Every structure is written in structure tokens, then in C-alpha cells.
């Protein structure tokens, strides 16, 4: 399901928590969904009962300097594809540069990021820092990193498409 706003997501989370469900949260752009994304999302779901995906809106993606053509797919299409995956229970589109408001509202049991991040980094200016990690840890939650699947990235896919021949 795609949450229309943070209030709707918080209501869902409240219900799941009252049912003693273990909440897992991750975030990203998920522009051109590929095997690396699916592996990552499936492994994230295995860490709990419910997987919530925070997804950058189009303006937020552009602010991340992913390239002038990004996102390739618009936010509604990306959210639709993510929400159709069996391992994803809820998707919320966020407009800020980071998902901190989503993470603070959900306070998941587990916060997950890909292998290019480090749960032990505490300096927010370090590119390996996991936004929301301090908040989740201080609430008794865990922060996990899932290794990236070698050879899969949206940036590489876009590069292959652009390459002549």
C-alpha cells in the first residue's frame, strides 16, 4: 500500500505495533528497479514482520545530484512498482532531502541501508552515515546494513543505455 501522508502511515504503524509486529524501515530512490533492489528489499523484510519503504520524491531525487535525467521514472510510478512487491508492506513518498521525518514518526525496530553505509559512523557529514540511526538506536532499535549485489546499480544501467553501440 502507498501511504498518502505521514499521518496515514503512523496509523498503520500503530496498528502493527499493537499486534506486536516487528517494524523494518528502509529508504531510497528505487528509480529503475533491478535485481539488487529486490534482493535488498527481500533481505530487509526477513529482519521483521513489516517492511516500510521511504521513497524520495522527484524533487528530492534531483537534489541528490544523481544526474540531470534522474529520476527516469516518476515518483508515482516508482511507488506503484515498490508497493506491488510481496516483501513491501507500505511505501511513503517523502519530499525532504533525507527520510528523518519518516524515521522519527515510525521509530522502527530495525533501520536498514545498503552496504555502502556503516551503522557505526556517527558523523552526519560522512557519506556512510545512516540518517535516523541515532534516533532508532536511542529507541532500542537496531541498525543493519545489507551487502549490495555486485554489478547492479541504476547509475550503471543508465550508463549502459546511454553508451553508443
Please report the pLDDT score of residue 158 as a whole number: 66
Q: Is residue 162 part of a domain?
A: no
- Specify the CATH number for the domain of residue 29: 3.40.50.620
**Residue 133, in any domain of the structure:** yes
pLDDT greater than 80 at residue 10: yes
Q: Are 50 and 23 in contact (CB under 8 A)?
A: yes
What is the phi/psi pair of residue 87, to 5°?
-80, -10
Q: Give pLDDT, residue 13.
A: 97
What distance in Å separates the CA atoms of residue 47 and residue 50, rounded to the nearest whole number?
9
86 and 38 Cβ atoms separated by less than 8 Å:
no
pTM above 0.85, yes or no: yes
Give the model's pLDDT for residue 25.
Answer: 98
Give tens-digit pLDDT for 74-112. Answer: 999 999 999 999 999 999 999 998 999 999 999 999 999
pLDDT at 149: 82
Q: Output the pLDDT for position 152.
A: 72
pLDDT in tens, 16-75: 999 999 999 999 999 989 899 999 999 999 999 999 999 999 999 888 877 778 898 999
Q: Using an 8 Å Cβ cutoff, are 21 and 49 in contact?
A: yes
Phi-psi region of 22 (alpha: psi -120 to 50; beta: other; left: phi over 0): beta
Asked if residue 164 belongs to a domain, the reply is no
Pair 119, 31: CB distance under 8 Å: no
165 domain-assigned: no
Q: Provide φ and ψ at 141, rounded to 5°.
A: -90, 175
Domain count, the chain: 1
In this structure, what C-alpha cell is assigned to residue 101?
521525518
Question: Is 29 contained in some domain?
Answer: yes
Residue with cell 521525518: 101
- Residue 38 CB partners (closer than 8 Å, separation 6+): 85
The pLDDT of residue 146 is 96
| Residue 138 resides in a domain | yes
> What is the chain's mean pLDDT, rounded?
92
Contacts of 19 (CB under 8 A, 6+ apart): none
The residues pairing with 72 across neighbouring beta strands, listed in sequence order, are none
Domain span at residue 60 reads 2-153
Amino acid at each position: 500500500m502507498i501511504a498518502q501522508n505521514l499521518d496515514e502511515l503512523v496509523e498503520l504503524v500503530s496498528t502493527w505495533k499493537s499486534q506486536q509486529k516487528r517494524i523494518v524501515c528502509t529508504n531510497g530512490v528505487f528509480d529503475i528497479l533491478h535485481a539488487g533492489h529486490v534482493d535488498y528489499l527481500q533481505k530487509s523484510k526477513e529482519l521483521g514482520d513489516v517492511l516500510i519503504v521511504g521513497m524520495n520524491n522527484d524533487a528530492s531525487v534531483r537534489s541528490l545530484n544523481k544526474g540531470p535525467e534522474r529520476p527516469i521514472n516518476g515518483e508515482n510510478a516508482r511507488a506503484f512498482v515498490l508497493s506491488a512487491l510481496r516483501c513491501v508492506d507500505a511505501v511513503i513518498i517523502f519530499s525532504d532531502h533525507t527520510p528523518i521525518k519518516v524515521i522519527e514518526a515510525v521509530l522502527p525496530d530495525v533501520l536498514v541501508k545498503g552496504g555502502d553505509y556503516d551503522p557505526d559512523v556517527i558523523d552526519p557529514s560522512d557519506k556512510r552515515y545512516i540518517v535516523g540511526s541515532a534516533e532508532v538506536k536511542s529507541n532500542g532499535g537496531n541498525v543493519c546494513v545489507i551487502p549490495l549485489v555486485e554489478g547492479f546499480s541504476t547509475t550503471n544501467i543508465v550508463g549502459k543505455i546511454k553508451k553508443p553501440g
